[in-house]
Amino acid sequence: MSLLQLPPEILIQIFDYVGSSYFRSDLSRLTVCKQWSKFAHTACFRDFYVTHKTLRRLLSSPYVESSLPLVKDSVETLDLDLKGFEDWDSILLSRHDSRAVNVLNVSTWNGAHGRAVRAAWTTELNNDLLYLATIIKQSRKLRILRIQATSELHPLLRLLERRDYLFLSTIRAFLLASNLTSLKLDLCGTRLIPYQSQEHGEGSHVCTSIAALLTTLRRLRLRMRSICADVLKPRQHSTNLRLNEMLINLSQKGTYRISVSAFQRRCMWLREWRSHGS
């Protein structure tokens, strides 16, 4: 008996055992044959662990047009693991100069070109994440969303100026998923950058976006650089919350940022509003 002649319930167990990382490392493994693809795609994207490198590989793959709808239809758990800029091996002086410069020099990365390289990467990262979010928010199966963003850290240059690298609009886009039952945001490694002028002021935080999910969430875990009471105010005043577990970690210890306070701060717009009103 060949593998594909096995009963579907056994095939599902086999593909789940092989694991999603096996298929994501080479998307051509999804296309052995039509029957194979049905099980392979489900296994590949049901528990979707994503780094920027794996996401970039997916979006640049020749199979992207067929794969993204399958992500939408299969994903039940999305786990984003972000660490900031990591391509520290080399940096080019300019488009017209292919000579490598000293990548172990702090001034190289804090200089104009080094900043430009990291800024371009930041834009690419957030564009890729926004593209994924537009797919994910249409998913009917997605129940668990975990986003972890740790501090951008050079492995050797510990005194290199640290940066924030996630846009506010990026996180908001993921929070538009309507069927979530579990949400974990550990964003202590970066502040959320307002990308456009309309994101400054009262709307310049994600607390209200999180609160909008309270009526469906059963589990909520948060650790962010700033937070305010709006995170606990659902848009629809209802006592029928389904929350079984809620954990808000106010400690910033272990974030590897020299300049960061050990505890979270209130959202900036709230502090500014109160100062103007006093």
pLDDT tens, residue by residue, 12-45: 788 888 877 777 677 677 777 777 777 777 787 8
What is the C-alpha R_g of the chain? 21
Here the tokens at position 278 are 């006093």
Q: How far apart are CA 154 and CA 85, in angstroms?
A: 9
pLDDT at 34: 73
Prediction pTM value: 0.80
pLDDT recorded at residue 107: 75
The pLDDT of residue 259? 45
Please give the structure tokens belonging to residue 184: 């974990």
First to last CA, the chain: 78
Do the Cβ atoms of 186 and 147 come closer than 8 Å? yes
Task: Specify the length of the chain in residues.
Answer: 278
Q: How far is CA 143 from the centre of its chain?
A: 15
CA distance 117 to 102: 15
CB 135, CB 72: distance < 8 Å: yes
* 151 contacts: CB under 8 Å, gap ≥ 6: 84, 162, 188, 189, 190, 255, 256, 257
Residue 35 CA from chain centroid, whole number: 32
pLDDT at 16: 80
Encode pLDDT of 111-121 as tens digits: 788 888 889 99
Which DSSP category does 151 fall into?
A: P
pLDDT in the model for residue 166: 96
Q: What are phi and psi of 277, to 5 degrees?
A: -85, -10
Instruction: Find tokens 């100026």 and name the residue.
Output: 161
| Alpha-carbon separation of residue 152 from 32, 104, 245 (angstroms) | 39, 16, 30
Residues of the chain with pLDDT under 50: 93-99, 202, 257-261, 269-278
Give me the pLDDT at residue 276, please: 42
Contact 84, 151 (CB under 8 A): yes
